[in-house]
Chain A
Amino acid sequence: ETGVTQTPRHLVMGMTNKKSLKCEQHLGHNAMYWYKQSAKKPLELMFVYSLEERVENNSVPSRFSPECPNSSHLFLHLHTLQPEDSALYLCASSRVRGDEQFFGPGTRLTVL
């Protein structure tokens, strides 16, 4: 596979569930990002990782917990979410911080 992949593509969860979103990039990039795209707001940056170190946390609630075990993989662990967290969660990567970002197809999350 090439580019940025995300799994699952669709996820439905209850408010008490714990789930994880996975992102993998096959581009040899050193920076990875999580974005939230909801129906009522523009695309919002959530987290930035550079060389596996978190460099930006954009005031995201603690029920979202990112993990970057290596430069190719990025996870978003979800716990006790709210219905308003329903959105498309997009992962992106770039060669280095601030460089052109390549987006994955997103995970469509629905919280019931």
Chain B
Amino acid sequence: GESVGLHLPTLSVQEGDNSIINCAYSNSASDYFIWYKQESGKGPQFIIDIRSNMDKRQGQRVTVLLNKTVKHLSLQIAATQPGDSAVYFCAETAAETSYDKVIFGPGTSLSVIP
């Protein structure tokens, strides 16, 4: 969706380079974290998740790193492609809310330069 009025952090990368998108979360009780990708005119799409008993998880071209000590999450995209251009959201949730309350970050806009 459009983001008029919201000044999202923006990351511009050259096609083929690696991208790193960072996220700070707020609730120390959060034990499940998700990264979503939202392209213009579409709803968020699940990319990868990680539970608090892990500090790294890899998918296809994506890696999520979790640092519980400083409450920091990152998404690494390898060999970034033009189709990766989108807004990326991290989200946190916790067993104490039965994982119903998913709290989303403000998002980072990734632009891939061909």
Binding site for B on A (CB under 8 A): 4, 37, 39-45, 48, 55-56, 58, 88, 90, 92, 97-106, 108
Contacts and interface: CB of A to CB of B under 8 A. Distances in A.
B23 to A, nearest CB: 11
Given A39-B2, A39-B5, A105 B101 contact: no
Given A37-B1, A103-B45, A105-B43, A56 B100 contact: yes
Contact of A88 (B1, B89, B99, B103): B1
Interface of B: 1-6, 34, 36, 41-46, 49, 89, 91, 93, 98-107
Nearest to A90: B43
16 contacts: A37-B1, A39-B6, A41-B6, A42-B105, A42-B106, A42-B107, A43-B44, A43-B91, A43-B104, A45-B101, A45-B102, A48-B100, A98-B99, A100-B34, A101-B102, A105-B43
A56 B101 contact: yes
A101 B46 contact: yes
B100 A55 contact: yes
Chain B interface, >50% SS class = loop
A37 B34 CA distance: 17
A92 B89 CA distance: 15
A39 B3 contact: yes
B101 to A, nearest CB: 6
B46 A43 contact: no
A104 B89 CA distance: 16
B93 to A, nearest CB: 7
Contact of A39 (B4, B49, B93, B103): B4
A32 to B, nearest CB: 12
B49 to A, nearest CB: 7
